[in-house]
Homo-oligomer: A and B are copies of this chain.
Amino acid sequence: MPLRDTTPLMTASQLESFLDEVFPQLHLGGRTYFVEEVGPMSARMRCDYHEKHLRPGGTISGPTMMALADVALYAAILGQIGPVALAVTTSLNFNFLRKPGPTALIGDAKLLKLGKRLAVGEVALFSQGESEMVAHATGTYSIPAER
């Protein structure tokens, strides 16, 4: 079958502006989430280091990682379907592998399926500059019919 065109419909900068509107609470206490890249069926986001993300012991908190994974998958989907549709997270699964140190986190999201009604993707989370994954997530998103 001819493959669907997966060229992103939005640039990283357009995505970032759109996410600012739909996830404003990400920026509570200071802007730290940024869209680094958007590609075919993929997006890379970064969460800068900020003491609001720290847990005692100097590691980045679980909720910070979970928010980054969710928003990175969301960005990858919006990159494909554009800003008009309102995708809704229906499930998320996380495996926490290593404690991330006090530095920026990278979330590499990749869509495994983009159907008419359901998108599924996975996210690898890394501390910036490190090669060992700190957490892995998969998520499913419901895509509204009326687009």
Contact = CB atoms under 8 A, between A and B. Distances in A.
Interface of A: 21-26, 28-29, 52-56, 61-64, 66-67, 70, 88-99, 112-113, 117-118, 120, 122, 133, 136, 138, 140, 142
Nearest to A90: B96
B138 A95 contact: yes
Contacts of A23: 55, 61
Contacts of A88: 96, 99
Contacts of A99: 88
Interface-centre pick from A53, A64, A138 (highest chain B CB count, 10 A) = A138
Given A91-B94, A120-B95, A25 B61 contact: yes
